[in-house]
Chain A
Amino acid sequence: MSSGTMNAETIKAEIEAAVPGCHVELVLNGSSSAQHSLVIDNEHALQVARYLRDDSALRLDFCSNVTGVDWLDAEVSETVKTKKLVDGVEQEVSEVRKTRTPGRLEAVYHLFSMEKKHGPVILRLRTADRAGGTTVPSLTPVWRSAEFQEREAFDLYGIVFAGHPDLRRLLMWEGFVDHPMRKDYLPPEENEDGDGRDQR
């Protein structure tokens, strides 16, 4: 395959050199596709996008796929053995420790280059949480192809794309309130019309 995934680590270093102060995190992909992705901090996302599009070696002029992903709050429990004093005698006790990763929404961008014929380079923008802070910057000013796809992610996931020229629902009707692709979305019994909420 001529257009394998480009070396994500190299691109990470290039972005960090080109956009000072930008925080880039490499997300490794354990599947056999080995398509690793880069998490870009929201503050520098537009600058990074412009750099990736305009850099003469990268020329990622084609933003192919834009979509949302919903990550729920996750609780990871691990059993840890510790030594404790029980009735004055030191004993080994196993304890369950729980670590919580807060839920968030993610916007994923698959970038290719029509000029250089390489790709994909995968960008991820993350929201602060799933309730109040669901804003990420819109990359539509850099790639028009994101226009409808960001609207779709706004519609179905509730990701607010700041700076999008026309952020309206794309597939659900006006007046619908929920975001049906969220993992905790429950369809109401009666949803023929109205706001999509249970009418009973």
Chain B
Amino acid sequence: MMLEAASIERTTEERTPVEAAELSASPENGQLLELSMGPHHPSTHGVFRMNVQLEGERVMRLKPVFGYLHRNHEQIAEKVSYLASIPYTDRLDYLCSMTNNWAYALTVEKLAGLAVPERAEYIRVITAELTRLQNHASLIGFLLQDMGASGTPLMYAFREREKILDLFESLSGARMMCNYMRFGGVRVDLPPQWVERAQALVGGFPRFLDEFERLLMGNEILMGRTQGVGVLPRELAINAGITGPMLRASGVNYDIRKVDGYGIYGRFKFRVPLGEHGDVYDRYMMRVLEMRESVGILKQALGEIPGGPIIDAKARLRGLRPKAGEAYGRIESPKGELGFFLISDGSTNPYRYRVRPPSLINLTVLEDMCLGRNVADVVVILGSVDIVLGEVDR
């Protein structure tokens, strides 16, 4: 069942581009100022540069500059075995190693025709949804930090994120670079008491969300800074290949967990929240609402998880040689559609290894959303896209 468009009430009027900027710099009395925001600007959350042309405070042109974190991940992966790339996928979107692992494992499974045992499918859903919780919580924290809410929201978000990373650590040995999934299953089984600990965390999560909402939901400044800012129209979002919460904030009902039903997502009941206005506020709300849905999925999955093997007995990890051919696999990662495109020539390493990075493609419309806004809005609009430069630049 889908959720009808999330009803989001507006308490402030839609703002027009800042009037002060229009007064101070018209083409007659002002001049265009070229400014590089980044690569070492705190709001870019990494090394990302925006070449901005300003008329006063108003953005007239914005061109993103990429590549500061480029290490040619794809070429490195084409020179090593299929298995050896798994730890490197952790470092794409380094907040979400579990979902990166999954997207890659899923594509190799498609290419080589491997099945995944029941228990492993459940573990994958559980770890992926926990990843979504910590990604969305951190994003909201960062976004509010960018708006000037220094400290409190980010600390609250990180307090919850730490608990999830503790679970990942006891499961995989690493907090962020989990290197956990394998073709045909997962690497190790859940340690004793893990399910109970996860259930306790998930049970307490709505309390955090309520607390967070009480803190922020009716906040005048938050609404003033986000409502009507960085509007992304529905048609443009589709044409520009925007995916994830950013697409759904523009009112497009497209969630790959529903559309493809990969893994065992078809079994879980959850709703797809949709926005109405496609502005920064709706994008923020999408994350809040999606966390609530993830909590629901986690409760079902943790309650139903069966016993049994965690990896397909026939899966050969080392020296895997898929038949010549190609496969494109994709998942709904917390940032959007994370896809892998692999071409096998029958040898032990992929002939072509391609990552479809949602963070990069979601930046296609950054200029469209920022034109006519002022510099402070650019920071908030970029924050609402949710990018990780490890994935943008690869």
> Which residues in A have their C-beta under 8 angstroms from that of B262?
1
Answer yes or no: B66 CB below 8 A from chain A CBs.
Answer: yes
* Count: A-B pairs, CB below 8 Å: 118
CB distance from B390 to the nearest CB of A (A): 13
Q: A62-B238, A65-B328, A143-B239 are in contact. Are A2 and B259 (CB under 8 A)?
A: yes
- 8 Å CB contacts to B: which residues of A1-56? 1-3, 29-33, 35, 37
Known: A65-B354, A69-B343, A69-B352. A145 touches B328 (CB 8 A): no
Q: Which B residues touch A1, using CB under 8 A? A: 260-262
B70 CB contact (under 8 Å) in A2, A62, A171: A171
Instruction: Given A108-B341, A110-B341, decide whether A35 and B240 contact each other with a Cβ distance below 8 A.
Output: no
Q: A143-B241, A171-B67, A171-B70 are in contact. Are A32 and B324 (CB under 8 A)?
A: no
**B111 touching A32 by the CB < 8 A rule?**
yes
Q: Which parts of B64-81 form the interface with A (CB within 8 Å)?
A: 66-67, 70, 72, 74-75
A33 touches B111 (CB 8 A): yes
Most buried by A among B323, B354, B364: B354
A158 contacts the other chain (CB 8 A): no
Asked if B241 and A64 sit within 8 Å, CB to CB, the answer is yes
Q: CA–CA, A172 to B71, complex, Å?
A: 10
Pick from A64, A114, A148, A172: contact of B339, CB under 8 Å: A64
Q: For chain A, give the interface size range.
A: 35 or more
Contact of B111 among A31, A63, A69 (CB under 8 A): A31
Residues in B whose Cβ lies below 8 Å from that of A149 = 360-361
Contact of A144 among B241, B326, B354 (CB under 8 A): B241
What B residues does A61 contact at CB under 8 A? Answer: 238-239
Q: Please determine whether A117 and B326 come into contact, CB atoms closer than 8 angstroms.
A: no
Q: Contacts of A103 on B, CB cut-off 8 Å?
A: none
Closest-CB distance, B324 to chain A (whole angstroms): 6
- A145 and B67: CB pair below 8 A? no
Q: A145-B364, A171-B66 are in contact. Are A64 and B324 (CB under 8 A)?
A: no
Residue of A33, A63, A67 ringed by the most chain B CB atoms within 10 A: A33
Interface residues of B in 321-369 (CB under 8 A from A): 322-330, 337, 339, 341, 343-344, 352, 354, 356, 360-361, 363-365
Closest residue of B by beta carbon distance from A70: B352
Instruction: Report yes or no: B74 in contact with A64, Cβ–Cβ below 8 A.
Output: no
State the CA gap A194–B123 with chains docked (Å).
48
Complex Cα distance, B319 from A51, in Å, reads 43
Bound-complex Cα distance A117 to B328 (A): 16
Contacts of A31 in B (CB 8 A): 110-113, 322-327, 344
B55 CB–A CB distance under 8 Å: no
How far is B344's CA from A172's CA once the two chains are assembled, in angstroms?
A: 26
* CB-nearest residue of chain A to B394: A171
B252 at the interface (CB under 8 A from A): yes
The answer to whether A32 touches B360, judged by C-beta atoms less than 8 angstroms apart, is no
- Interface contact A32-B356, CB-CB below 8 Å: no
For chain B, which range describes its interface: under 10, 10 to 19, 20 to 34, or 35 or more residues?
A: 35 or more
> What residue in chain B is nearest A145 (Cβ atoms)?
B241
B236 contacts the other chain (Cβ, under 8 Å)?
A: yes
Q: Give the complex CA separation of A33 and B326 in angstroms.
A: 7
Contact digits for A166-200, partner B, Cβ 8 Å, 1 yes 0 no? 00011111000000110000000000000000000
Partner of A181, one of B74, B238, B254, B341: B74
Residues of B within 8 A of A110 (CB): 328, 339, 341, 356
Contact B354 A172 (CB under 8 A): no
A29 partner residues in chain B, CB cutoff 8 A = 325-327
Partner of B239, one of A30, A67, A145: A145
Tell me which of A3, A67, A144, A170 contacts B67 (CB under 8 A). A170
Contact for A67 among B242, B254, B344, B354, CB less than 8 A = B354
Residues of B within 8 A of A173 (CB): 67
Shortest Cβ distance from A28 into B: residue: B325
- For B252, what are the chain A residues with a Cβ–Cβ distance below 8 Å? 114
Residues of chain A within 8 A (CB-CB) of B240 are 144-145, 147
Instruction: Verify B113–A32 contact, CB threshold 8 A.
Output: yes
Contact between B364 and A33, CB atoms less than 8 A apart: no
In this assembly, does B393 line the interface, its C-beta being within 8 Å of a C-beta of chain A? yes
Q: Mark A119-162, 1 if CB is under 8 A from B, else 0.
A: 01010000000000000000000011111110000001000000
Known: A29-B325, A33-B111. Is A2-B74 also a contact (CB below 8 A)? no
Checking B242, B322, B324, B341 against A65 with a beta-carbon cut-off of 8 angstroms, the contacting residue is B341
20 A-B pairs whose Cβ atoms sit less than 8 Å apart in the complex: A1-B261, A1-B262, A30-B323, A31-B322, A31-B326, A32-B113, A35-B327, A62-B241, A64-B243, A65-B356, A67-B354, A67-B356, A110-B356, A143-B239, A144-B240, A145-B242, A148-B361, A156-B72, A156-B74, A180-B72
Residues of A within 8 A of B (CB): 1-3, 29-33, 35, 37, 61-65, 67, 69, 108, 110, 114, 117, 120, 122, 143-149, 156, 169-173, 180-181
Across the A-B interface, the 9 shortest Cβ-Cβ residue pairs: A145-B241, A31-B325, A32-B113, A33-B327, A144-B240, A171-B67, A65-B356, A171-B70, A30-B325
Other A-B contacts than A145-B364, A148-B360, 10 sampled, CB-CB below 8 A, are A3-B260, A31-B113, A31-B324, A31-B326, A33-B110, A62-B238, A65-B354, A144-B365, A149-B361, A156-B74
